[in-house]
Amino acid sequence: MSEPQSRDFIRQIIHEDLESGKHDSIVTRFPPEPNGFLHIGHVMSICLNFSVAAENNGRTYLRFDDTNPGKESEEYVAAIERDVHWLGFDWGDRLTHASDYFGQLYESAVQLVELGAAYVDSLSADEIREYRGTLTTPGKDSPHRNRSVAENLDLLARMRAGEFADGEMVLRAKIDMRSPNMNLRDPALYRIRHVTHQHTGDKWCIYPMYDFAHTLSDAFEGITHSLCTLEFEDHRPLYNWFLEQLKPPHQPRQIEFSRLNLAYAITSKRKLGALVEEGIVAGWDDPRMPTIAGMRRRGYPAAALRDFVTRAGVTKKDKLIEMGVLENCVRENLGEAAERRLAVLRPLKIVLTNYPEDKSEMMSAMNHPGRPELGNREIPFSRELWIEQDDFMEEAPRKFFRLQPGGEVRLRFGYIIRCDEVVKNDAGEVVELHCSYDPETRSGTGTSDRKVKGTIHWVSCAHAIDAKVRLYDRLFTEVNPNSAADFHTILNADSLQTVDAKLEPSLSSLAPGDAVQFERLGYFCIDSEEHSGDTLVFNRIVTLRDTWAKIEKQAIQQQH
């Protein structure tokens, strides 16, 4: 194994812990709460936790942090398992739940009470808030803070037995109401919730809070490095407090790194959920969603996602990464993997006036210009063809080297044609082009090397198959929608556009999820949900890089 040139700070710590003999092996965990779908931000955490362990022959737990019944559901646990697995990671037999430890957690709570380090408080939630103080003023002790151990033990047992209503009692850690760190002002450990838990049923009516359950779950599982995001930094003293008080045999260490934010995307489960709830998107797996499920359905390869988070890096600096980086990872992966096909998104009919009416012939097209081993296919060619509306301009600017009146272009894998006549409707719109082809320029023949500036794609009208193609764009108009007061005001109205496209016949046998490149347009795949019936439905995964679009854009900007 070769030594990497540089390690991120977490890998450095792990490396040192292994070198020094502090640990013999590394154990990590990915601990999602099953209250929503995983998104691009989680990809970062998943890859970090699983990779860092795998790199060191360690192991990783997939642990559901299910301590808040009512907000969590089995639907989400299934989705999370599917997503983590699809991303390429395997937890083996290490699939656990915080709720698996409810028994041990309760015992630990009793132990804290016995230690005089926890007490049952009868203050209401509102009162507790008042007693907590503010960021700049210290809190004050609850009047119940000095109940005897015996009384606390009795109260805790009765909480568990269901003698109290929700909110009537709460178990709190006894730390310091005057701490400048709010997390240390006697945080709640257990609250009463008379609700059925998705995993433990009605066995419990008291449920542990995050800090308590998470720290101890880490300890129980022998996690060596508990990696989480920056907002938990102030929780670390509390995390360590639990370990000091209870002295479990395994003492995990919490290390925080910055979250990954993606430009123009929301990474808040709550807001993502709102988009679904309000029907702004079609579901958690809508191809516009930055969820793992959405990106998978959109056609992003798992490897591209892994590559993306690797490029983003692991640091403690807040980051907002440009969309282009993600898109580039997708293009890079698909550019190599995807076979090429011809498809016309916005069809314009052309008639080759000098091509025989009844004739049709098969043109040979390579499936991948960079990978000849992928072979060739045959595409039918005939007198009437569909070309892209964008590939014709009646009054073309200087550098436009596609089709224009009197001009020539090469039809990809076909002939060179010339535009002789533009046919318009009463409204003056171009509806059809009359062209002539040069029989001497058939692709692949010895005389086919005559040069023309442009090459455009096409589909034979008589042989084309129809499809709906969905073109996606960013969901928001602001770079950082996370910080918008109300995301409704910055929704991109054009995030989804559907067009009726014409495809080359071979595309009818494509399997859902398989990505292909429509030459000159981008990468596409058959939608996994809506391909039923007669009409094929394609998703545009990402466009090709488009230098011409950039030139046009600059030209427009220069005019103003």
Site for RNA in 365-424 (CB under 7 A): 368-370, 399-402, 410, 412-414
Alpha carbons 288 and 291: distance in angstroms, whole number = 9
Selected from 110, 325, 337, 430, the binder of RNA by CB under 7 A is 325
Choose among 322, 271, 300, 308: nearest CA to 43. 308
Q: Is 555 in the site for RNA (CB under 7 A)?
A: no
Nearer to RNA among residue 152 and residue 286 (C-beta): 152
In the bound complex, what is the minimum distance in angstroms from residue 319's beta carbon to RNA? 4
Which of these ranges, 88-96, 107-115, 176-184, 277-285, lies near RNA under the rule CB under 7 A?
A: 176-184
Nearer to RNA, 53 or 321 (CB): 321
Query: Looking at beta carbons only, is 262 or 286 nearer to RNA?
Result: 262
Minimum distance between the CB of residue 5 and RNA, rounded to whole angstroms? 6
What tokens does 420 get?
């002789």
Please choose, out of 78-86, 125-133, 295-303, 470-478, the segment that lies near RNA by the rule CB under 7 A: 125-133
Token pair 């070198």: residue: 19
Binders of RNA in range 23-42 (CB under 7 A): 31, 33
Length of the chain equals: 560
Annotate each residue in 229-248 with x if it binds RNA (CB under 7 A) or - if it does not, as one string.
Answer: -xxxxxx-------------
* Cα–Cα distance for residue pair 449/429, rounded to 1 Å: 34
CB of 398 to RNA, least distance (A): 9
What's the token pair of residue 239?
A: 């995390």
The enclosing H or E element of 314 equals none
User: Does the footprint of RNA cover residue 97 (CB under 7 A)?
Assistant: no
Among 99-107, 118-126, 492-500, 508-516, the segment contacting RNA (CB under 7 A) = 118-126
Residue from 29, 33, 147, 377 carrying the catalytic annotation: 33
Which CB sits closer to RNA, 366 or 461? 366
Q: Provide the H-helix boundaries in 348-488.
A: none
Site for RNA in 514-553 (CB under 7 A): 517, 519-520, 544-548, 550-551
Minimum separation from the CB atom of position 298 to RNA (A): 18
* DSSP letter for each residue of 520-556: TTEEEEE-SSS--SSSEEEEEEEEPP-HHHHHHHHHH
Q: In sequence order, which residues have a C-beta less than 8 Å from that of residue 131 and are 6 or more positions away?
A: 123, 139, 140, 141, 142, 177
- CB closer to RNA out of 187 and 252: 187
**Rg of the chain (C-alpha set):** 31
DSSP secondary structure string for all residues of 455-491: EE-EEETTT-EEEEEEEE--SBSSS-GGG-S-GGGGB
Q: Which is nearer to RNA, 257 or 472 (CB)?
A: 257
How many chain residues touch RNA (CB under 7 A)? 97
Reduce the DSSP state of residue 29 to 3 states and report it. strand
Indicate the residue among 351 and 516 with the shorter CB distance to RNA: 516
Site for RNA in 255-274 (CB under 7 A): 258
Residue in 328, 436, 495, 539 binding RNA, rule: CB under 7 A: 328
Of the candidate residues 107, 114, 115, 124, the single one contacting RNA (CB under 7 A):
124
DSSP helix/strand/coil, 503: strand
**In sequence order, which residues have a C-beta less than 8 Å from that of residue 438 and are 6 or more positions away?**
415, 416, 417, 418, 450
* 332-361 residues near RNA, rule: CB under 7 A: 332, 335, 340
Q: Are residues 189 and 112 in contact, defined by beta-carbon separation less than 8 angstroms?
A: yes
Contact (CB, 8 A) for 118 and 208: no
Which range in 108-116, 208-216, 293-301, 381-389 contacts RNA by CB under 7 A?
208-216
Q: Which 429-488 residues touch RNA, going by CB under 7 A?
A: 441-444, 448-449, 451, 454-455, 483
Applying CB under 7 A, which of residues 47, 159, 302, 321 lies at the interface with RNA?
Answer: 321
Helix axes 236-246 and 102-114, enclosed angle (nearest 10): 80
Name which of 286 and 312 has its Cβ closer to RNA: 312
Q: Is 178 a catalytic residue?
A: no
Interface characters, 291-320, with RNA (x: CB under 7 A): --------------------xxxxxxxxxx
Decide if residue 322 touches RNA (CB under 7 A): yes
**Bridge partners, 456 (sequence order):** 411
Select 204 or 207, whichever has its Cβ closest to RNA: 207
- Binding status of residue 165 toward RNA by CB under 7 A: no
**In 379-453, alpha helices (H):** none
Does the footprint of RNA cover residue 250 (CB under 7 A)?
A: no
Q: Three-state SS for 81?
A: helix
CB atoms within 10 A of CB 449: 7
Kindly provide the residue ranges of all beta strands, DSSP E only, lying in 140-259, ordered along the sequence.
170-173, 188-192, 206-208, 225-229, 253-257
CA angle 298, 82, 67 (to 5 degrees): 120
Query: Active-site residue among 59, 147, 160, 269?
Result: 269
Q: Does 2 bind RNA (CB under 7 A)?
A: no
Report the nearest approach of RNA to the CB of residue 497 (Å). Answer: 21
Contacting residue, 180, 356, 372, 439, with RNA by CB under 7 A: 180
- Asked about 259 being catalytic, the answer comes back as yes
The least CB distance from residue 549 to RNA, in Å, is: 8
CB 80 within 8 A of CB 48: no
The whole-angstrom separation of Cα 224 and Cα 7 is 18
Q: Please, what is the minimum distance in Å from the beta carbon of residue 436 to RNA?
A: 17
Q: Is 519 a catalytic residue?
A: no
Of the residues 11, 132, 259, 468, only one is catalytic, namely 259
CA distance 422 to 435: 9
Q: How far is the CB of 512 from RNA (least distance, A)?
A: 23
Q: 6 phi and psi, to 5 degrees? A: -145, 145
Active-site residues: which are they?
33, 259, 269
